[in-house]
């Protein structure tokens, strides 16, 4: 029985890193990384059984340090990358590594109920992505539609393109570029576009958004002062190749057409504190999720700038039955952008939101106190989009 009620899971550790298991398109599975200073850190594998509305979990030990960012290979269900803190000579560096989870944890291989006594498993280190010469790593992003062999890491002011070779046991630097200018130049976020045959990456540093060509590692566009304060996250529209969403500490979410970056196409001002995370739905790009330090998750319907601006793809048949329609239907206004729902299940800053890679109507959000909430797009809206 499908139910719109949220399902809540408490990790018992502080956490800020969340990703769907991107290569898993059948089972609903998310990975969450913990941030504990006292205990060994963990990656919780969260399997959501949507028929019974329950969560099954497995735990992987991540003993190297607290996890700041986690991302999953688009091609291999067992492979993931983490960015984690490692104390070194009086300062803390954030390193990055690629790992493999044990075979028995691949989806479908466990039927165990949520049993806290089940043993923790260990991750197998495949390779490091940081000759720490480049500084602290903010995030690792995978080439979206590739074979899981190309990743980009953002380390301080450097953008580094890696080829993972020998079954990901070796990372070879294939290209790099650096931010130039005055002051502390540090990347905060990056996303790899699924369009343009995966040759474009967008990055954020301070209040600026830049586009890069991965073939030449050169800058292709620059949006200065994209936000009034720090830019926290970016995401590409999966269906419209030039459209990019951004969010930041000015409490705003902005949508850009990268062919003309003088003004955003649209701005959302629904949050009352820093916006940490923005995600387009993979199938229905009018659905946009955001998470903020105001402890709220907001689902917006950005239909006017979506690939279906009239609520559905316009085809010729629609136009030819104009005559049969009642006159008042002819001048139908396109649907308006709106907030679909505001979710209040969190009591702490929501650092990450993400859609399931298996179920387009399901999403997860994670707050710093370790609360993971799984929600669904309201059923009425789902049928409105589908029918």
Length of the chain: 387
- Asked whether 277 and 352 are in contact (CB, 8 A), the reply is yes
- 318 has a pLDDT exceeding 60: no
pLDDT, average across residues 193-205: 96
- Asked whether 237 and 195 are in contact (CB, 8 A), the reply is no
pLDDT, average across residues 366-371: 97
In a 3-state reduction of DSSP, which class is residue 327?
A: helix
**How far apart (Å, rounded) are the C-alpha atoms in residues 89 and 128?**
19
- 340 has a pLDDT exceeding 90: yes
What is the residue-averaged pLDDT of the chain?
A: 89
At a CB cut-off of 8 Å and minimum separation 6, what does 227 contact?
207, 246, 247, 248, 249, 250, 252, 254
The predicted pLDDT at position 326 comes to: 45
**How far apart (Å, rounded) are the C-alpha atoms in residues 56 and 46?**
6
At a CB cut-off of 8 Å and minimum separation 6, what does 263 contact?
none
- Asked whether 133 and 178 are in contact (CB, 8 A), the reply is no
Assign domain 7-111+120-307+333-386 to its CATH architecture. 7 Propeller (2.130)
Placement of tokens 């070194």 in the chain: 88
Placement of tokens 């409490």 in the chain: 251
Spell out the domain ranges in the chain: 7-111+120-307+333-386
The predicted pLDDT at position 130 comes to: 75
CA–chain centroid gap for 7, Å, is: 20
Q: How many CA atoms lie within 13 A of 176 on its CB side?
A: 14
Residue with the larger pLDDT of the pair 331 and 376: 376
Tell me which H or E stretch contains 69: strand 67-72
pTM of the model: 0.90
69, 51, 58: which is closest to 15 by C-alpha? Answer: 69
**How far apart (Å, rounded) are the C-alpha atoms in residues 275 and 298?**
10
- Taking the CA atoms of residue 248, residue 99, residue 62 and residue 138 in that order, the dihedral angle to the nearest 10 degrees is -20
pLDDT digits (tens, 9 = 90+) for 107-148: 655 544 444 556 789 999 999 997 667 889 999 999 998 899
- 327 has a pLDDT exceeding 80: no
Residue with the larger pLDDT of the pair 247 and 134: 247
Residue 278: Cβ within 10 Å count: 28
179, 273, 283, 200: which is closest to 232 by C-alpha? Answer: 273
**How far apart (Å, rounded) are the C-alpha atoms in residues 88 and 143?**
30
DSSP letters of 70-115? EEE-SS-TTEEEEEEEEEETTEEEEEEEEEE--GGGSTTS----S-
Joined together, the tokens standing for residue 180 give 């130039």
At a CB cut-off of 8 Å and minimum separation 6, what does 344 contact?
295, 296
At a CB cut-off of 8 Å and minimum separation 6, what does 219 contact?
177, 210, 211, 212, 213
**How far apart (Å, rounded) are the C-alpha atoms in residues 189 and 267?**
19
């Amino acid at each position: 029985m499908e139910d719109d009620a949220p399902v809540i899971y408490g990790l018992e550790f502080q956490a800020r890193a969340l990703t769907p298991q991107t290569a898993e398109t059948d089972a609903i599975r998310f990975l969450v990384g913990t941030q504990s200073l006292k205990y060994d850190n963990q990656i919780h594998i969260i399997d959501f059984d949507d028929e019974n509305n329950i969560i099954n979990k497995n735990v992987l030990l991540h003993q190297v340090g607290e996890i700041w960012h986690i991302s999953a290979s688009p091609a291999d269900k067992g492979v993931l990358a983490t960015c984690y803190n490692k104390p070194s000579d009086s300062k803390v560096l954030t390193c990055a590594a690629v790992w493999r989870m044990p075979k028995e944890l691949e989806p479908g291989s466990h039927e165990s109920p949520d049993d806290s006594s089940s043993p923790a498993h260990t991750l197998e280190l495949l390779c490091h992505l940081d000759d720490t010469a480049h500084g602290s790593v903010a995030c690792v992003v995978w080439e979206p539609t590739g074979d899981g062999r190309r990743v980009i890491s953002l380390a301080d002011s450097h953008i580094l393109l890696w080829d993972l070779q020998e079954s990901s046991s070796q990372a070879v630097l294939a290209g790099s570029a650096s931010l130039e200018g005055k002051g502390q130049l540090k990347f905060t976020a990056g996303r790899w576009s699924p369009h343009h045959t995966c040759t474009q990456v967008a990055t954020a540093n301070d209040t600026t958004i830049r586009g890069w060509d991965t073939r030449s590692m050169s800058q292709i566009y620059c949006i200065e002062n994209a936000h009034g304060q720090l830019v926290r996250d970016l995401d590409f529209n999966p269906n419209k190749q030039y459209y990019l969403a951004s969010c930041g500490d000015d409490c705003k979410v902005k949508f850009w057409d990268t062919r003309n970056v003088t003004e955003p196409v649209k701005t959302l001002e629904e949050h009352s504190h820093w916006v940490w995370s923005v995600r387009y739905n993979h199938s229905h790009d009018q659905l946009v999720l955001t998470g903020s330090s105001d402890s709220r998750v907001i689902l917006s319907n950005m239909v006017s700038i979506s690939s279906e601006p009239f609520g559905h793809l316009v085809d010729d048949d629609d136009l030819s039955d104009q005559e049969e329609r009642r006159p008042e239907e002819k001048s139908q206004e396109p649907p308006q952008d709106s907030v679909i729902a505001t979710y209040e299940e969190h009591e702490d800053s929501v650092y990450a939101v993400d859609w399931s890679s298996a179920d387009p109507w399901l999403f997860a959000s994670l707050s710093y106190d370790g609360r993971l909430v799984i929600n669904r797009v309201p059923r009425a809206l789902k049928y409105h989009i589908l029918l």
